[in-house]
Amino acid sequence: MTQSSQRPHRNFYGRLKGKALKQSQRRYLEEDLGSLSPGPVSWEDNPERTVLDTEALFGGRPVWLEIGFGGGEHMVHQAAQNPDVGIIGAEPYINGVAMLLGKIRRAQVDNVAVHPGDARDLMDVLPAQSVDRAFLLYPDPWPKSRHHRRRFVTAEHLEPLACCLRPGSIFRVATDIEDYVRQTLEQVPRCGFEWLAEHPQDWRTPWDDWISTRYEQKAIREGRRPHYLTFRRT
């Protein structure tokens, strides 16, 4: 089964690489990344956009997706706490990928897959309605008004995400940027999601299985309030 083989024009904004990697991190990339691939995702490796076999990838376990996993704290935490699911993470920032691989080694979790690239390319080849839960945690805020269209919470990203998610599945968004909250609450429901909050505590209180990330800790130190938004795919 294939999807469209016509590559769309996609601008990419943000960093792909930061400071020089440590020797151990280079070793993680060389030794571990290939075996943790979810399959052929890139346009070069999969020009026909053949969908991934997620059933084979995780042995029929439910599939979760983390979009932009940063340093990998949350992804590895969820994998360790939920061995009955498989988690795919997408992150183009190679330093973050290397950090995640080190955490995977130390935690010895085996229910993860890693795409070191654009989440849009990954969503191209995920089967329709194959994902049971998705996470968007402290995404790049793009604070300038003229850059808001670069945020993940736009139709360009949300519509393919909605296609990947099963009806009734959960989509979690965490951010410390109030304007990002506003845009999220405007755009996500337009793309097939329902916001589940009934009281202020529902978005002020972390999820029961939450682990605070380094991005969140920085936000708190700098006096910004985290928001925890939960949506359900309709």
Q: Which two tokens stand for residue 121?
A: 């390319």
Cα–Cα–Cα angle for 74, 172, 211, rounded to 5 degrees:
25
Q: Which two tokens stand for residue 49?
A: 């956009």
Strand 193-195 versus strand 227-233 pairing type:
antiparallel
Q: Which of 32, 140, 179, 208 is catalytic?
A: 140
176 assigned to active site: no
Q: How many CB atoms lie within 10 A of CB 43?
A: 17
DSSP track, 152-185: SSSHHHHHHHHHHEEEEEEEEEEES-HHHHHHHH
Q: Give the number of other CB atoms < 10 A from CB of residue 29.
A: 15
d(CA 117, CA 74): 18
| Residues 32, 37: Cα–Cα separation, whole Å | 9
**Torsion 212-214-216-221 (CA) sign:** positive
- What residues act catalytically? 140
